[in-house]
Amino acid sequence: MVRTISKRIINSIAKSTTDKYNSDELEQMEYALVTILFESIKMISTILIFSLFGYWKEVIIIQIIMCSVKPFIGGYHEETQIKCFITTLLSITGIMILSMQCTISFISNCILIFLSIFCIWNQAPVINSKMPITRPEIINKNRKTGLRNVTIIGLISIVTYNYLSYYLIITWTILLLALEMFNKRKN
C-alpha cells in the first residue's frame, strides 16, 4: 500500500512539473519517499506502543539517538518492513529493560561509551547490500557524521551520569548500535 501511494505521488509530481525527470530520477524519488514513509510509520507506531505502557520519554530518547546515528553508520538490516518493525520493538524493549535493571558505575559507563565509539570508528559505515553507497565522498561524510553524533551523545551520557537516570538509556542505545554493526556473516 505504501509503495502504491508513493508511486502515485511521484507520478503526479512528474506530471505536474515542467521539469522532465528520467526514469532513474523518478525511481530515486520513489525510493526516498517509500523509505521516509516506512520509517515514519515504524517510528510513530513504536512511540505509540511504548507510550501506552508509560515509557514515552524513554522511547523518544532512544528514537532520537537511533535517528541521529544509525542512518550514518549503518548496521543491521532486515529483509521486510514487518521484520524490521519487530526487531526495532525488541531492541527498544531490550534497551529499556537493561536501563531499568542494570546500574553501572561512572567508569563502566565511560568504558562502554568509549568502546562503542571505537567500534563505530573502526566499522562505520556498514553498507547495506540492497542499497549500496558507492561514492567515497558520501561514505566518508556519513562516517564523520555518525562518529560526531555518537561522540556528542556519548558525552551527554557521561556528563549527565550524576544528574539524570536517562544516561543508561543513552549508553545502552549507543552500545546496541555499535553491536549491530557486527552482525554480517560472510558467505
Contact 69, 153 (CB under 8 A): yes
What is the model's pLDDT at position 10?
75
Q: Are the C-beta atoms of 133 and 127 separated by less than 8 Å?
A: yes
Please measure the distance between the N-terminal and C-terminal CA atoms of the chain and give it in whole angstroms: 33
CA distance 179 to 97: 17
Residue 19's pLDDT is: 67
pLDDT at site 3: 75
CB-CB contact of 56 with 96 (8 Å) = no
Cell of 151: 561522540
Residues 6+ apart with CB under 8 A from 47: 56, 59, 60, 63
- The CB-side HSE value for 38 (13 A sphere, CA atoms) comes to 18
Cα–Cα distance for residue pair 169/96, rounded to 1 Å? 7
Per-residue confidence (pLDDT) for residue 187, from 0 to 100: 45
Q: What is the pTM of this model?
A: 0.81
Q: Give the DSSP per-residue string, 53-113.
A: TT-HHHHHHHHHHHHHHHHHH-----SSHHHHHHHHHHHHHHHHHHHHH----HHHHHHHH
pLDDT value at residue 124: 76
The crossing angle, in degrees rounded to 10, of helices 167-179 and 56-73 is: 30
Based on C-alpha coordinates, what's the Rg of the chain?
19
Regions in the chain scoring below 70 on pLDDT: 17-19, 23, 77, 127-135, 183-187
What is the pLDDT at residue 139? 74
